[in-house]
Amino acid sequence: MPGPGAFLVGEEERREVQEILESGYLSRYGRLDNPDFKRKVATLEEKFAQCIGVKHCLAVNGGTSAMMASLAALRIKPGAEIIVPGYTYIATMSAVIAVGGKPVLAEVDESLTLDPKDVARKITSNTQGIIPVHMLGNPCDMDRIMKIAHEHDLFVLEDACQALGASYKGQCVGSFGDMGAFSLNVNKTLTAGDGGLVTTNDNNLYERAFGFHDQGHIPSLLGVEFGNRTIIGINLKLNELTGAFALGQLKKLNHILQTLKTKKSALKNALMAGGIKNMGFRKINDPDECHTILTVLFPDAATAQQVAKALHTITVFDSGWHVYNNMEHLLAYTDAEGNKPYHAHMLPQTDDILGRAINLSVGVVDPGIGASFGINILTTDAEIPAKAKEFIDIVKPMVD
């Protein structure tokens, strides 16, 4: 079940990919004097860096890879504590564990993103960084998170995998922290099937991430320098076919954001006009969010459960691997010292908020995040009031 980009695959992607099929040249590396080498991955990196407003972008083969390459570049110390929210995709935690760090779970607030108050509480002498996750397209409270990071000399890696295109106070997410990571899997704003993008303004972090994403090579078109390699890499490269597809999608970003903004506000306004008294909405930290999901909040978990059942959906608390309680492999994880750092219900504030929340689809239609009731990017303006009426007719008698 896809995100908005997947609904719109068409001529732009076909044209880009066709060039590669005709040239038969698939590697991201090549000589500029070879007419078969189309520089699709390199062009994607240049255009994406420009789009986000950063100096460097590195394309990789997935969002998890983007997180790992960033964390490797940031030199995670063995066992270093990295603060992550308890409501995120498992990849946020697994990337930290894969590079030898220890994810420390923190609460989310009613924005469903990291609660800065709890971040401050979770800092110890062993904390090395913070990973704010711009969850469901909603930018984190970056003012407060960056302030805490500066006060404690911590790195910030923005997990922007679900928030390609979102801005906070006029600045794109993925450009606030030391590094940012984006995903191009099928559920995201833009897709290439799979793929990821690393962003940074720091030359050294870019070079280290680049080296990690190949086999230690410093950035170049050929990637075969000897004598300058300072980092062991694991090959997370993107190929030209995927890069070409992503370039086609990137052309649609503004259209996607504008369309979803209009559709989300039409749906939200129609729900508000229904006058359901005992229902609120997730706090949005900046109106220039991605508009992919409309989250509604009820006064208690029992009411939310009842509503979810009637809508043939589930509460956010019950949704898949985005909730730490439902990550059985994380709960079973034993660290190097033999400790089991994670257990169900260790984040009571997160449990309370997620238990009262239901995600309605606007641009991302994904039962995995509980968003199976709602609209999508192809829903017409005329269909939105009918969808809102269906919701109000079911929910109002139940909650008011």
Ligand X SMILES: Cc1ncc(COP(=O)(O)O)c(C=O)c1O
Note the residues at the interface with ligand X (CB under 6 A): 62-64, 67, 88-89, 91-92, 133, 159, 161-162, 183, 185, 194, 196
**Closer residue to ligand X, CB minimum distance, 213 or 387:** 213
**Closer residue to ligand X, CB minimum distance, 67 or 267:** 67
Q: Residue 160 CB, nearest distance to ligand X (Å)?
A: 8
Q: Residue 80 CB, nearest distance to ligand X (Å)?
A: 19
Q: Residue 303 CB, nearest distance to ligand X (Å)?
A: 28
**Closer residue to ligand X, CB minimum distance, 92 or 259:** 92
Q: Residue 38 CB, nearest distance to ligand X (Å)?
A: 24
Closest residue (Cβ) to ligand X?
Answer: 63
**Closer residue to ligand X, CB minimum distance, 167 or 303:** 167
CA distance 125 to 136: 31
CA distance 39 to 227: 25
Q: Residue 91 CB, nearest distance to ligand X (Å)?
A: 4
- Tokens at 70, concatenated: 């960033």
What does the DSSP assignment read for 209-264? HHHHHTTSPPS-SS----S---S-----PPPHHHHHHHHHHHTTHHHHHHHHHHHH
- First and final C-alpha spacing in the chain: 32
**Closer residue to ligand X, CB minimum distance, 162 or 242:** 162
Residue 294 host element (H or E): strand 293-297
**Closer residue to ligand X, CB minimum distance, 8 or 133:** 133
10 Å Cβ neighbour count for 304?
Answer: 25
- Tokens at 379, concatenated: 């829903």
The candidate with the shortest Cα–Cα distance to 387, out of 367, 360, 364, 365, is 360
